[in-house]
Amino acid sequence: MPSDRVLKTMNAVHRGLIKLTGGRVGWQAGMPVLELTTVGRKSGQPRTVLLTSPHQEGDVLVVVASRGGDDTHPAWFLNLRDQPDVEVSLKGAPKRPMRARVANAEERAKLWPKIAGDFKNYAQYQTKTEREIPLVFLEPR
């Protein structure tokens, strides 16, 4: 699995591409791209990451805490699990306050087959790890 340094570098390159192109490139990666800002669980400082949303239900966005199939959860997931009040910018729009909620077993059982069927990379990530990859609902506050 990629190291934290590699993941942060990839995120910085993605963010740079968006900035360099004035937002014309980088906000769509086969699914909508969003900017998620959490509060660092150790630092208390804002932490921002670009993520894809493979499923949307009205104003509710779903993100997948896959970390490429790594055995550990991504830092952003641990942050929002501890402090669910987040900010989200979809496709470069102004940030909106949202509340993160981890899907319960029933919600995940219903939604995972659709996400994994539509986006095969997520199905592959799940085969790489024994942890159940969480789905997170980002809901307007």
Residue 89 sits in a domain whose CATH number is 2.30.110.10
Domain around 126: 27-140
Residue 134 within a domain? yes
DSSP assigned state of 28: B
Q: Tell me how far apart the alpha carbons of residues 13 and 60 are, in angstroms, rounded to a whole number.
A: 27
Kindly list the averaged pLDDT for each block of 10 residues, start to end, along the chain of length 141.
61 57 57 92 93 94 93 95 95 90 98 96 93 97 93
pLDDT at 3: 60
Q: pTM score, two decimals?
A: 0.83
What is the sign, positive or negative, of the torsion defined by CA atoms of 127, 77, 64, 139? positive
Instruction: For residue range 87-128, list pLDDT tens digits in order.
Output: 999 877 889 999 999 999 999 999 999 999 999 999 999 999
